[in-house]
């Protein structure tokens, strides 16, 4: 705020009339040249200070980033031989082992689901075969019927169906 007020004072001072004894045309030209040159100088000084502050900000930001990077590197180097890093390695190995176990369990579950689906399809197929054989045996004589039912029961008991 104080700098802004100081700048306004300079601007008004540049615009005030130049004190001179004569009021001739040459004096007015000098007066105009004086005001313009001082105003340009004022603008150039403002640009210079603004650019200087920007450069200082960039340098400060780079220094800060470099110091943070150095601290990160130093921390990594200093903890590489310590016990905390070994502990972290053990925790990472344990985590990886748990992930591998979970992956293997998921594989086993998917295999079991596929086997269940295959057995369900086989059961449906054998039920259809049994139904067709029962229909055929019901059409034929009772002796043939008993032979087919006996054969059907043997095949189904062999396959594990009741």
What is residue 20's three-state secondary structure?
Answer: coil
Q: Which two tokens stand for residue 64?
A: 């800060």
Within the chain, strands assigned E span none
Write down the pTM of the prediction: 0.36
In tens, the pLDDT along 33-79 reads 888 888 888 888 999 999 999 999 999 888 888 887 887 777 766 65
Q: Quick one: residue 160, left, alpha or beta (phi over 0 = left, psi -120 to 50 = alpha)?
A: left
pLDDT 10s digits, 101-147: 999 999 999 999 999 999 999 999 989 988 887 787 777 666 676 77
Q: How far apart are CA 160 and CA 114, in angstroms?
A: 19
């Amino acid at each position: 705020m104080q700098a802004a007020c100081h700048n306004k004072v300079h601007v008004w001072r540049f615009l005030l009339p130049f004190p001179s004894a004569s009021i001739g045309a040459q004096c007015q030209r000098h007066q105009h040249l004086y005001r313009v040159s001082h105003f340009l100088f004022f603008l150039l000084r403002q640009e210079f200070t603004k650019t200087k502050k920007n450069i200082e900000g960039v340098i400060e930001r780079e220094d800060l980033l470099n110091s943070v990077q150095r601290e990160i590197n130093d921390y990594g180097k200093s903890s590489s031989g310590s016990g905390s890093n070994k502990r972290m390695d053990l925790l990472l190995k344990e985590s990886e082992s748990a992930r591998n176990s979970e992956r293997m369990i998921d594989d086993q579950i998917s295999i079991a689901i596929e086997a269940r689906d295959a057995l369900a399809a086989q059961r449906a197929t054998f039920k259809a075969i049994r139904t067709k054989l029962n229909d055929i045996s019901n059409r034929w004589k009772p002796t043939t019927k008993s032979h087919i039912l006996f054969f059907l029961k043997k095949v189904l008991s062999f396959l594990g169906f009741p």
